[in-house]
Amino acid sequence: MLYDAECGLCTFVRDWLARQRQLVPLEFVPAGSAAARGRYPGLDHAATLSDITVIGDGGQLYRGPAAWVVCMWALRQYRPTAHRMTTPAGLKVAKQVVLGAAKYREARWDRRAGGNAYRREDGWVYDRKDGWHYTRQDAAAGPAACDSGCRTAD
């Protein structure tokens, strides 16, 4: 399972899945990571950051609601639920769950980023415990510059 390692919801779900009794072993790989790129070189890695992606041991690719159903199918307690989710009505429910999770992620991302995404190449670093931190010093502004671009002493 490829998951967004910087998303609180995704890491929560990963941790929950890892604690469940598995009939089929699940491996968790951070989406877009060097490990993911090395294991799956032909995969659209940008897409894996926006939608849950599961790759089966035979190379099968599952995204969105189907990926959630596959994860549930791998769990001992939830296999019967996964079978129910493969019906047309069940897939509609699975899709609603995935859309709800996507809305939650988008709302959290927009609130955290002030409507704009923090980007690593701009000097931002994400810590799961404390959130985003700006680390790069702008050489032109010097150490006295604040985040808003003002200077404390001119």
Q: Kindly state the average pLDDT of the residues 89-106.
A: 73
**pLDDT of 113:** 47
**What are the DSSP calls for 18-84, one per residue?**
HHS-BSS----EETTSHHHHHH-TTS-HHHHTTS-EEE-TTS-EEETHHHHHHHHHHBTTTHHHHHH
At 123 the three-state DSSP class reads: coil
Question: What are the φ/ψ torsions at residue 142 (nearest 5 degrees)?
Answer: 80, 175
Three-state DSSP at 140 gives coil
Q: What is the pTM of this model?
A: 0.62
Res. 100: pLDDT tops 80: no
pLDDT at residue 8, as a whole number? 78
pLDDT at position 23: 95
